[in-house]
C-alpha cells in the first residue's frame, strides 16, 4: 500500500509553490514550468481586464519579470495563486492608472469609461451560431462590468480564488468583495435574460 | 396573502445568497423556499447557466513567441533580488543623495552658472585646475558613476555582460572636456554630471525595456524585411570572417589592428571596446547584414552619442577623443530616410571590399550635417559619405547628436560553380520529365511541427552559448490577409514575363484571416495510452494535464492496450487515473494489441459523439512511446475511417524511441495533429493546444485546384507527391465526410463529390493566422495565360461555402524580377535550405562532420553566389550558415556536436515555419 501511495504521490504534479521556490534556488526550468502553468490565467486576466491588445504582450512579460524579481518576497508556506495574482492585479491597476493619466493629458476619453478593447469579436469557429452568440454576449457583459466588479468576478469565477484571498489581492474589505461579486453576477444574469429575450424575438 | 411581504424579503435574501455563491444556498430554509418560489428557482437556473458559461469560457492564450522571448530575457538570468538587498540599496541611494546635496550646498551657491561636463575615463568628474582633492570623488561616488542608475556595489544589482550585450552599452561614460577654474562650476558640474548620467541611465533603461518588451515586434519588423535595418544590422565582415573559420576576434584581425594602430591610443581603445560590445550585441541578437545588388553593402549604426553640445563644445570633441575619453552610447535615433550606399563600379571592378566607418553629426531637425571618415577604405569612402548625407532622422530637442556608422562593402562574389549550376538547372527546359497536371497531390500543409518545439526546448535547456538557429526564419510571405472570408489565395511566378519557352516557378499562396473563435466546445476524447515503464512519468504528466484541462461537459476516457477502457468518463479524476497508471507501470502491455485499443476507443468515442457539436469536438488521442512498425498500416486505416466519421485522431509521441515519420503519417490519416512530449513540462501545453485546436480552424475542406494553361507543362509540385488512386480515394472520402458533417451541423450546403480538372490538393483544416505556399515547377512555351487557382472551402467564420480565385498571365517581357517574383525564388531557396540543414544534421548524427561542413558551405556559396539584391532575409541565412561552418570547423566536444545537430534541425524546421506559430 505504501508503494501505491508513493506512486499516487508521484502522479501529482510539482506544486506551483515548489516551482517558485526551485526557481529561487536557481532552477531555470522551474520558472519556465511556472510560466507554462500560469500563462493562460495571466493572459486571460489581462484580456478580460481590458488591457489594450498592443500592450498585453509587454504587460505579460512585465508581470513574470516582476514575479522573478520578487520571488524572494514570497512566503512558500502560503499558496502561490493569491500571491501571484496580487502581482498581476497590481500591475494591471498601475497600467490602467497610467492609461487614465495618458488619456487625460491627451484629451482622450478616460480608459475606465470606454468600452475596453477586447480581442477580436470575430465569429466563433465551427460552433453553432447560438453558441457563438452566447460566447460573445458573455464576454461583452464581462467587459461592461465596472472594473472592481470585473476584477472580483474574474478572480472568483474564472480563477477560482477564494473570496478572502481576493480581498487580500485587491486590498478590499471582504464584505466589499462579496458585494462586488454579488452585483457582478446579478448584472450577468440580467444581461443573459435580455439576451435570451432578444434571441427569442429574433427567432419568432 | 398575509405572508407576501415575508416572501419578498425571503426572495431577496435567497437571491442574494445565490448571487454571492453562484449556486444554490446550502441552508435548509433557502432550499425550501426555492422549492416553493418559481421566480427564485428561475433566478437560480439563470445563475447556474451563467456559471456554466463562465466555466466553459475559453481563456485566451499568449503567443508562444512571447513566452520564448520572456524566457530569453536576460533579467531572468540574474538571481532573484532580495527585498533586504533592495532596502540596503535604497538606504545607500538616500545616503548618496544627502551627501551630494551637502557638497553642493557647501561649495556651490551664488556662483556663475557656466559649466560643462567632463568625465575622465575612470568615471570621476574632473573639475579642471581647481583644488585637486575636490576634483576627485569618493570611491562610492566613483562606483555610482561607473554604474549609472544602479545604486550600491552589489554586483547582482548591476547589468551583467549578457544584458549589456543584448542592448546598448551603458558602461561607456559621457565624455566632454573643459577645464574649470572655479569651485562653483565644478560643484554644479558634479551635480550635472550625475543628472546627465541618471537621465541617460533612465533613458537607456527605458530604451532597453522597450527593446526587450518589443522583442516580438522587432522580429515582425525584421520579417517585414523593410528598412528596419541599418541600425540593427550586423557588419559584413562577420560574414566573410565566419565563412571558413571561427569568427576571428577583433584583436586577431591584422587589418583591424592596423586600423586601430593608426588611431590615437585612446580612440583605438574606444573603438575596440565599442566594436567588442557590438560583437556581443550581434552574437546575442543574431541580426543580419544587408546585401546590395551585385555587391553587399551593409550599414551598422551602433556607436551613438546623444548629448547636448554647443558649437564650441563640438569643435573640441575630436580633441577630447584623442585624450582618451569615452562616448556615451545610446539608442539609435529613429531614421526616417535611408539611402543605400551604392557600390562604386570602379571598386566593384577591382573587387575592393572593406568597411568604412563614419562619424555622423545630426542636427536637431534630424538632418545629417556632417560625415567624417573615421575608418577609411579609400575607394569606398565617398560612396559611404554620399549615402549617409542623404539620411534623415527624427527631429529631436537635442541640438546635435553624433552617431558612428559602419558601412560594409563586400565585393560581389562571382557566381561560383554551385550558383551557376543552380541557375542553369533552373533555366533548363530540355530533357525534362513532365508530370500529369491532373489528379490528387499530397497536402503539404501540416499545422505545426511539434518536433521543432521539442528541439527548441532541448536547445534552450542545453545552455550552450551559441545559437545560430535563432536566425532561421521562414520567408515572409507578402500575401494580404483576406478582406472578406477566411482565406485569400494568390498566384505568382518567379518571372515577370516570358518571351519564349521558359522554366518557371509558380507559387500558390494561401493566407488565413487572423481572427478565430475562442470558445472550445465540450470535448469527447478517448485517450489510448501505450507507454512503456520508462515513459510512465510523461504519461502521468499527460494524464494529469488532461484531468486539469477537463472542463464542464467534457467526457474523457482512458484506454490501455490489452486492458480496454480503464477509466470511463465519470471516473476521469485524479484517484482512478493514478491507480490506472500505477497498474500500467507494473504491467508489460507492450506486447498487447494497440490496434484493438484504438479501435475500441474509436468505437466508444463515436458512440458518444454528438453530431450537433462542432467537428473536432470528438477526438481520439493516441499516446505511444514506441515504434509502430507493422501496426502502422492498420492504425492509419483505422484513423482514416475514424476521421471520415467525424472523429479525428491525433498522436502524442513519448520518449526518444518513437518514429516521428510514423506518427506524422498516422496523424495525417486521422486528420489530426501530432506532438512529441520530451519533458513533462510540455504536457499542459500539448493538451491545451490539442483541446483548443478545434476552435482555431477557420476553414475546413479546403480544395485547391491548380489548372495549368494548355501549353504549360508540369515538371513537379515541389515537396509534394502525386497520390495513388487509393490515397486519392481517401482524400475524397475525408473531404466528403467534412462536407456532410458541416452541412448537417452548421447548414453549410454540401457541395463536394465531384473531381475537378487540374492539380487537386485537399487540406482538411486551415488554421487562423497561417500562410502556406505550394510551389510548382513548370515550363511555359509562350506569353499569355499560365495558370489559375481555385480555393474552395467551408468558411467557418461566415458559415458558408466560399471560393477564392487567382490567375496568372505573363506578358512578353524580359523585365527584371520584382519583389513578388523574388519572393517566389526565395521560397524555393528556403525550401532547399531547409532540406540542406536537415541533411547536415543527419550527417552530424552519423559522425560525418566533414560532409556536414561541406554541405553547409556549398549552401552558403550558393546563396552568396546568387548575388541576390539587398535582401536581409537571405543575408541572415548566409550569416547563419557562416556561423555553422565556423563552429563546426573548430574542435568540438561530442555534446556540442549533438547540440549543433539539434540546432540544424531546428533551423531547418524554422525555415519552413516559425516555431512560434506552431500549434
| Residue percentage of chain B with pLDDT more than 70 | 65
Flag whether residue A4 sits within 8 Å of chain B, measured between CB atoms.
yes
Structure letter (DSSP) for residue B248: P
Q: What is the mean pLDDT of residues B529-556?
A: 85
Residue of B49, B68, B518, B540 to mutate for A, most A C-beta atoms under 10 A: B518
The residues near B893 (Cβ < 8 Å, ≥ 6 apart) are: none
pLDDT tens-digit map of B183-240: 444 444 344 434 433 433 333 333 333 333 333 333 333 322 222 222 322 223 332 3
A131 touches chain B (CB under 8 A): yes
A103-117, A133-147, B475-489, B548-562: least confidently modelled range: A103-117
Q: Report which DSSP code applies to B435.
A: B
B53-92 residues touching A, CB cutoff 8 A: 53-55, 57-63, 66-67, 69-71, 73, 75-76, 79-83
Q: What angle do CA A197, A199, A202 make, to 5 degrees?
A: 110
> Are B283 and B165 in contact, with CB atoms under 8 Å apart?
yes
Answer yes or no: do A125 and B694 touch at CB < 8 A: yes
Q: Which of B60, B71, B80 sits opposite A71 (nearest CB)?
A: B80
Starting at the edge strand found earlier in the chain, the sheet holding B671-677 runs B564-567, B555-560, B524-530, B618-624, B649-654, B671-677
Could you give all domains of chain A from N- to C-terminal order, each with its CATH number?
14-119 (1.10.1740.10), 123-204 (1.10.10.10)
Structure-model confidence comparison of residues B636 and B285, the more confident one: B636
Is residue B439 within 8 angstroms of chain A, CB to CB?
Answer: no
Q: Is B9 helix (H, G, I), strand (E, B) or coil?
A: helix
B798 touches chain A (CB under 8 A): yes
The pLDDT assigned to B398 comes to 75
Q: Is B199 on the interface with A (CB under 8 A)?
A: no
- pTM assigned to the model: 0.41
Residue A192, pLDDT score: 82
Check if the beta carbon of residue A66 is closer than 8 Å to that of residue B217. no
Residue B7 has pLDDT above 60, yes or no: no
Task: Give pLDDT, residue A118.
Answer: 32
Report whether pLDDT(B544) > 50. Answer: yes
Band (pLDDT 50/70/90 cuts) for residue B661 is confident
CB neighbour list of residue B753: distance below 8 Å, 6 or more residues apart: B732, B736, B739
Task: Please indicate whether, in this complex, the C-beta atoms of B213 and A11 are within 8 angstroms of each other.
Answer: no
State the DSSP H helix or E strand holding residue B851, giving kind and residue range, or none if neither: helix B849-865
Q: How confident is the model at residue B176 (pLDDT cuts 50, 70, 90)?
A: very low
Average the pLDDT over B676-702 and give the result.
80
B214 to A58: CB separation less than 8 angstroms, yes or no:
yes
- Measure CB to CB from residue B80 to each of A37, A69, A124 and give the nearest one: A69
Contacts of B919 in chain A (CB under 8 A): none
Q: How confident is the model at residue B305 (pLDDT cuts 50, 70, 90)?
A: very low
Pairwise CA distance, residues B74 & B198, whole Å: 22
B552 contacts chain A (CB < 8 A)? no
CB contact under 8 A, B70 and A129: no
Neighbouring C-alpha atoms within 13 Å toward the C-beta of B538: 22
User: For B111-170, where are the alpha helices, taking DSSP H only?
Assistant: 132-135, 139-146, 161-166
The partner residue sitting opposite A43, judged by closest CB among B43, B62, B517, is B62
Q: Which residue has the higher pLDDT, B339 or A150?
A: A150
CB-based burial label for B819 (10 Å; 0-12, 13-18, 19+): exposed
Distance from the B686 Cα atom to the nearest Cα atom in chain A, whole angstroms: 11
Higher pLDDT, B810 or B345: B810
Which residues of chain A neighbour B746 with C-beta distances below 8 Å? 126, 128-129
A-B contacts (CB, under 8 Å): 201
Task: For residue B515, list chain A residues with Cβ-Cβ distance below 8 A.
Answer: 120, 122
Q: Calculate how close chain A gets to B206, using CA atoms only, in Å.
A: 13
Residue A182 to residue B19, Cβ atoms within 8 A:
yes
Chain B: residue nearest A64 by CA? B70
- At B351, the pLDDT band (50, 70, 90 cuts) reads low
A56 close contact with B: CB closer than 8 A? yes
B743 touches chain A (CB under 8 A): no
Q: What Cα–Cα distance (Å) separates residue B346 from each residue in B292, B351, B385, B411?
A: 16, 9, 17, 11
Cβ of residue A7 closer than 8 Å to a chain B Cβ: yes
A190, closest residue in chain B (CA to CA): B46
Mean pLDDT of chain B: 69
The segment with the largest mean pLDDT, out of A22-31, A96-105, A173-182, B756-765, is A173-182
In A, residues 107-126, which contact B (CB 8 Å cutoff)?
119-120, 122-126
Residue B177: band (very low, low, confident or very high) from pLDDT cuts 50, 70, 90: very low
Q: pLDDT by residue (tens digit) across B103-161?
A: 544 444 443 333 222 222 333 333 333 333 333 333 433 333 333 333 333 333 333 33
In this complex, which of A28, A39, A62 lies closest to B67 when CB atoms are compared? A39
Confidence of residue B576 (pLDDT cuts 50, 70, 90): confident
- The pLDDT of residue B274 is above 50: no
B368-377, B385-394, B669-678: the lowest-pLDDT one = B669-678
Distance (Å) from the C-alpha of residue A41 to the closest C-alpha of chain B? 7
Q: Where residue B789 falls among pLDDT bands split at 50, 70, 90?
A: very high
Instruction: Give the count of alpha carbons within 13 A of B733, CB side only.
Output: 18
CA of B122 to nearest chain A CA: how many angstroms apart? 31
Burial class (CB in 10 A: 0-12, 13-18, 19+), B105: exposed
| Residues of A whose CB is below 8 A from B519 | 124, 127, 131-132, 135
Residues of B in contact with A139 (CB under 8 A): 57
Burial class (CB in 10 A: 0-12, 13-18, 19+), B591: exposed
**Which chain A residue shows the shortest CA-CA distance from B767?**
A125
- Using a CB–CB cutoff of 8 Å, tell me whether B49 touches chain A: yes
- Any CB–CB contact under 8 A between A6 and chain B? no
**Cβ–Cβ < 8 Å for B112, B49:** no
Cross-chain Cβ contact A57/B62 below 8 Å: yes
Q: State the number of CA atoms in the 13 A half-sphere of B777 facing the CB.
A: 17
pLDDT tens string A54-68: 888 889 999 998 898
Q: Which residue of B has its CA nearest to A11?
A: B540
Q: Most A CBs within 10 Å: which of B44, B50, B573, as the mutation test of the A interface? A: B50
**Residue A161 in contact with partner chain B when CB distance is under 8 A:** no
B25-29, B88-92, B395-399, B903-907, range with greatest mean pLDDT:
B903-907
**Residues B760, B761, B763, B768, CA torsion sign:** negative
List of chain B residues whose C-beta atoms are within 8 Å of the C-beta of residue A37:
684
Give the chain B residue whose CA is nearest to the CA of A128.
Answer: B746
Contacts A31 to B, Cβ<8 Å: 71, 76
Residue of B15, B16, B19 best to disrupt the A interface, most CBs of A under 10 A: B19
Put simply, whether B645 touches A (Cβ < 8 Å) is no
Q: Which is nearest to B674 in space by CA: B617, B727, B623, B730? A: B623
Contact B47 A189 (CB under 8 A): yes
Q: Flag whether pLDDT at B779 surpasses 90.
A: yes
Residue B852, pLDDT score: 92
Amino acid at each position: 500500500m505504501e508503494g501505491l501511495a508513493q506512486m499516487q504521490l508521484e502522479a501529482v504534479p510539482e506544486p506551483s509553490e515548489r516551482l517558485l521556490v526551485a526557481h529561487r534556488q536557481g532552477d531555470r526550468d522551474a520558472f519556465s514550468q511556472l510560466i507554462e502553468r500560469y500563462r493562460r490565467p495571466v493572459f486571460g486576466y489581462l484580456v478580460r481586464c481590458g488591457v489594450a491588445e498592443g500592450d498585453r504582450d509587454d504587460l505579460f512579460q512585465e508581470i513574470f519579470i516582476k514575479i522573478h524579481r520578487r520571488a524572494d518576497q514570497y512566503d512558500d508556506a502560503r499558496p502561490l495563486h493569491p500571491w501571484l495574482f496580487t502581482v498581476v492585479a497590481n500591475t494591471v491597476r498601475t497600467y490602467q492608472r497610467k492609461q487614465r493619466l495618458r488619456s487625460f493629458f491627451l484629451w482622450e476619453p478616460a480608459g475606465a469609461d470606454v468600452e475596453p478593447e477586447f480581442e477580436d469579436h470575430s465569429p466563433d469557429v465551427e460552433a453553432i451560431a447560438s453558441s457563438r452568440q452566447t460566447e460573445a454576449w458573455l464576454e461583452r457583459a464581462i467587459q461592461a462590468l465596472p472594473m472592481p466588479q470585473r476584477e472580483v468576478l474574474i478572480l472568483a469565477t474564472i480563477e477560482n480564488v477564494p473570496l478572502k484571498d481576493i480581498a487580500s489581492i485587491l486590498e478590499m474589505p471582504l464584505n466589499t468583495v462579496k458585494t462586488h461579486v454579488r452585483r457582478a453576477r446579478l448584472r450577468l444574469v440580467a444581461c443573459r435574460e435580455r439576451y435570451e429575450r432578444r434571441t427569442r424575438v429574433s427567432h419568432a | 396573502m398575509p405572508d407576501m411581504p415575508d416572501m419578498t424579503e425571503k426572495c431577496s435574501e435567497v437571491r442574494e445568497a445565490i448571487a454571492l455563491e453562484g449556486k444554490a444556498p446550502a441552508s435548509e430554509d433557502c432550499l425550501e423556499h426555492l422549492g416553493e418560489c418559481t421566480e427564485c428557482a428561475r433566478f437560480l437556473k439563470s445563475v447556474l447557466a451563467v456559471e456554466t458559461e463562465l466555466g466553459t469560457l475559453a481563456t485566451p492564450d499568449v503567443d508562444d513567441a512571447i513566452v520564448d522571448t520572456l524566457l530569453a530575457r536576460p533579467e531572468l538570468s540574474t538571481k532573484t533580488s532580495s527585498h533586504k538587498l533592495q532596502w540596503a540599496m535604497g538606504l545607500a541611494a538616500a545616503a548618496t543623495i544627502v551627501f551630494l546635496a551637502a557638497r553642493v550646498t557647501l561649495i556651490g551657491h551664488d556662483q556663475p552658472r557656466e559649466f560643462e561636463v567632463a568625465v575622465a575615463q575612470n568615471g570621476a568628474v574632473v573639475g579642471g585646475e581647481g583644488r585637486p582633492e575636490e576634483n576627485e570623488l569618493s570611491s562610492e561616488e566613483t562606483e555610482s558613476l561607473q554604474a549609472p542608475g544602479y545604486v550600491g556595489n552589489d554586483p547582482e544589482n548591476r547589468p551583467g555582460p549578457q544584458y549589456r550585450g543584448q542592448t546598448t552599452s551603458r558602461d561607456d561614460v559621457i565624455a566632454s572636456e573643459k577645464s574649470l577654474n572655479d569651485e562653483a562650476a565644478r560643484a554644479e558640474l558634479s551635480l550635472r554630471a550625475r543628472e546627465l548620467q541618471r537621465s541617460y541611465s533612465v533613458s537607456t533603461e527605458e530604451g532597453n525595456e522597450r527593446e526587450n518588451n518589443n522583442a516580438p515586434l522587432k522580429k515582425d519588423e525584421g520579417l517585414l524585411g523593410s528598412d528596419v535595418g541599418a541600425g540593427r544590422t550586423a557588419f559584413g565582415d562577420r560574414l566573410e570572417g565566419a565563412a571558413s573559420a571561427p569568427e576571428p576576434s577583433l584583436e586577431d584581425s591584422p587589418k583591424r589592428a592596423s586600423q586601430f594602430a593608426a588611431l590615437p591610443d585612446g580612440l583605438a581603445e574606444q573603438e575596440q571596446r565599442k566594436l567588442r560590445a557590438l560583437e556581443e550585441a550581434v552574437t546575442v541578437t543574431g541580426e543580419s547584414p544587408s546585401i546590395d545588388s551585385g555587391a553587399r553593402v551593409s550599414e551598422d549604426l551602433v556607436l551613438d552619442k546623444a548629448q547636448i553640445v554647443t558649437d564650441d563644445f563640438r569643435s573640441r570633441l575630436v580633441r577630447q577623443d584623442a585624450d582618451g575619453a569615452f562616448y556615451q552610447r545610446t539608442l539609435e535615433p529613429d531614421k526616417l530616410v535611408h539611402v543605400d550606399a551604392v557600390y562604386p563600379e570602379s571598386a566593384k571592378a577591382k573587387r575592393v571590399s572593406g568597411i568604412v566607418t563614419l562619424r555622423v553629426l545630426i542636427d536637431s531637425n534630424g538632418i545629417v550635417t556632417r560625415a567624417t571618415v573615421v575608418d577609411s577604405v579609400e575607394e569606398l569612402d565617398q560612396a559611404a559619405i554620399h549615402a549617409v548625407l542623404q539620411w534623415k532622422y527624427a527631429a529631436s530637442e537635442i541640438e546635435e547628436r553624433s552617431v558612428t556608422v559602419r558601412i560594409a562593402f563586400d565585393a560581389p562574389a562571382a557566381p561560383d560553380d554551385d550558383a551557376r549550376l543552380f541557375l542553369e538547372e533552373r533555366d533548363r527546359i530540355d530533357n525534362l520529365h513532365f508530370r500529369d497536371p491532373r489528379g490528387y497531390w499530397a497536402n503539404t500543409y501540416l499545422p505545426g511541427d511539434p518536433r521543432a518545439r521539442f528541439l527548441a526546448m532541448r536547445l534552450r535547456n542545453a545552455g550552450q552559448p551559441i545559437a545560430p538557429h535563432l536566425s532561421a526564419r521562414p520567408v515572409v510571405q507578402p500575401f494580404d490577409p483576406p478582406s472578406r472570408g477566411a482565406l485569400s489565395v494568390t498566384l505568382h511566378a518567379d518571372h515577370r514575363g516570358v518571351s519564349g519557352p521558359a522554366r518557371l516557378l509558380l507559387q500558390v499562396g494561401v493566407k488565413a484571416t487572423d481572427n478565430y473563435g475562442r470558445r472550445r466546445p465540450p470535448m469527447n476524447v478517448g485517450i489510448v495510452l501505450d507507454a512503456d515503464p520508462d515513459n510512465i512519468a510523461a504519461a502521468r504528466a499527460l494524464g494529469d494535464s488532461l484531468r486539469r484541462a477537463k472542463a464542464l461537459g467534457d467526457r474523457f476516457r482512458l484506454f490501455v492496450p490489452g486492458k480496454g477502457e480503464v477509466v470511463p468518463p465519470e471516473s476521469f479524476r485524479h484517484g482512478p487515473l493514478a491507480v490506472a497508471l500505477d497498474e500500467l507501470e507494473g504491467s508489460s502491455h507492450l506486447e498487447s494489441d494497440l490496434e484493438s485499443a484504438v479501435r475500441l476507443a474509436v468505437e466508444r468515442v463515436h458512440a458518444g459523439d454528438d453530431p450537433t457539436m462542432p467537428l473536432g469536438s470528438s477526438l481520439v488521442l493516441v499516446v505511444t512511446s514506441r515504434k509502430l512498425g507493422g501496426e502502422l498500416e492498420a492504425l492509419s486505416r483505422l484513423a482514416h475511417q475514424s476521421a471520415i466519421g467525424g472523429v479525428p485522431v491525433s498522436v502524442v509521441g513519448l520518449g526518444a524511441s518513437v518514429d516521428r515519420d510514423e506518427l506524422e503519417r498516422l496523424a495525417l490519416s486521422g486528420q489530426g495533429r501530432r506532438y512529441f512530449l520530451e519533458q513533462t513540462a510540455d504536457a499542459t501545453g500539448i493538451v491545451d493546444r490539442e483541446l483548443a485546436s478545434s476552435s482555431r480552424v477557420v476553414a475546413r475542406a479546403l480544395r485547391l485546384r491548380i489548372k495549368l494553361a494548355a501549353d504549360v507543362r508540369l515538371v513537379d509540385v515541389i515537396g509534394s507527391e502525386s497520390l495513388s488512386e487509393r490515397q486519392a480515394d481517401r482524400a475524397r472520402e475525408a473531404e466528403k465526410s467534412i462536407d456532410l458533417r458541416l452541412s448537417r451541423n452548421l447548414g453549410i450546403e454540401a457541395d463536394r463529390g465531384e473531381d475537378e480538372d487540374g492539380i487537386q490538393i485537399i487540406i482538411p483544416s486551415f488554421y487562423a493566422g497561417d500562410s502556406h505556399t505550394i510551389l510548382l515547377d513548370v515550363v511555359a512555351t509562350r506569353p499569355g495565360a499560365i495558370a489559375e487557382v481555385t480555393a474552395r472551402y467551408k468558411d467557418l467564420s461566415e458559415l458558408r461555402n466560399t471560393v477564392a480565385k487567382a490567375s496568372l498571365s505573363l506578358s512578353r517581357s524580359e523585365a527584371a524580377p520584382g519583389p513578388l517574383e523574388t519572393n517566389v525564388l526565395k521560397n524555393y531557396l528556403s525550401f532547399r535550405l531547409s532540406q540542406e540543414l536537415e541533411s547536415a544534421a543527419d550527417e552530424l548524427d552519423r559522425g560525418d562532420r566533414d560532409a556536414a561542413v561541406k554541405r553547409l558551405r556549398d549552401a552558403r556559396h550558393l546563396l552568396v553566389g546568387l548575388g541576390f539584391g539587398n535582401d536581409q532575409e537571405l543575408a541572415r541565412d548566409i550569416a547563419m550558415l557562416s556561423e555553422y561552418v565556423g563552429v563546426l570547423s573548430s574542435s568540438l566536444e561530442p555534446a556540442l556536436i549533438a547540440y549543433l545537430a539539434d540546432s540544424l534541425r531546428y533551423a531547418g524546421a524554422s525555415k519552413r515555419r516559425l516555431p512560434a506559430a506552431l500549434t
